[in-house]
């Protein structure tokens, strides 16, 4: 599927990749990161988002973020889009992370509104424009008010869409009406960041997804869009329903997706304040995962 007559800027099937740590959690496991990245691309991911929510960006250092980009770039080569999460509560720090990500080899930047301070929309817009003016990389705006406390309002999106380097949105706003409005009135590529909206958003003109569940089932998540693009909407709906039990356990069980992914993958511990899934939860996740693979 093309988006507005051209391919989406970062592909259509992206994984919000976890960040592997060593057993102690004190350091990155860069070898494992490279292995995971290569497996995800082989499994059907067009691109990877590093150091996002699922990548535990609040608890990784600036140096670790850069090292992760370099390790994954080496593992997947130069043709796979790598989008670096750089969002912080501080505009100056976000600008510095943008520069570091570009130097490390990122292809794009994922930027949230500044959190906690809850700036008005004029300040949110100024923040994004400042970051977009910092490097030559394209930006994806990350609209996730449930975590940041601040929405990127549709009218703000439409104004920001006029900037030549603001090209995409990761949509976790749970406002299909607002998202559809922006899709219709701009060239922004909308990526679903909520598993249950991957297919609905795609059906109204979205560009694809940035998926946490893709860490463990990249082919199954992508297959939904493949069926839709082939014109078989009934099959797309069936495949989407087949994913539901695992997606619900991973994303709506009261635990962050980072925790549930790492309960299924050999990618090291989570960093505090997160805590690992308990045995009962991990067993339930494995059962749902095995049932998906056997379906």
**Which residues are part of the catalytic machinery?**
142, 170
How is residue 198 written in tokens?
């991957």
Contact 138, 108 (CB under 8 A): yes
Token duo for residue 112: 């949230």
């Amino acid at each position: 599927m093309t988006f507005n007559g051209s391919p989406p800027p970062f592909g259509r099937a992206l994984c919000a990749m976890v960040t592997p740590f060593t057993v102690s959690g004190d350091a990155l496991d860069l070898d494992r990161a490279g292995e995971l990245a290569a497996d995800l691309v082989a499994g059907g991911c067009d691109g990877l988002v590093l150091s996002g929510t699922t990548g535990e960006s609040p608890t990784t250092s600036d140096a670790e973020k850069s090292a992760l980009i370099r390790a994954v770039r080496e593992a997947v080569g130069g043709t796979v889009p790598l989008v670096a999460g750089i969002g912080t509560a501080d505009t100056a720090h976000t600008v510095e992370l943008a520069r570091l990500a570009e130097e490390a080899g990122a292809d794009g930047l994922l930027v949230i509104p500044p959190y906690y301070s809850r700036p008005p929309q004029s300040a949110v817009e100024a923040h994004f424009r400042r970051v977009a003016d910092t490097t030559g990389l394209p930006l994806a705006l990350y609209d996730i008010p449930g975590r940041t406390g601040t929405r990127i309002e549709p009218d703000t999106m439409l104004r920001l869409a006029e900037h030549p380097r603001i090209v995409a949105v990761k949509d976790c706003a749970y406002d299909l009406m607002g998202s559809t409005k922006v899709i219709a009135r701009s060239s922004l590529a909308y990526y679903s960041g909520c598993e249950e909206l991957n297919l609905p958003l795609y059906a109204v003109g979205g560009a694809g997804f940035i998926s946490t569940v893709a860490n463990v089932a990249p082919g199954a998540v992508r297959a939904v869009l493949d069926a839709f693009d082939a014109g078989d909407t009934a099959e797309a709906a069936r495949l989407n329903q087949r994913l539901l039990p695992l997606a619900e356990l991973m994303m709506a069980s009261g635990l962050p997706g980072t925790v549930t992914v790492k309960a299924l993958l050999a990618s090291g511990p989570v960093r505090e304040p997160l805590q690992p899934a308990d045995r009962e939860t991990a067993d339930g996740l494995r059962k749902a995962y095995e049932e998906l693979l056997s379906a």
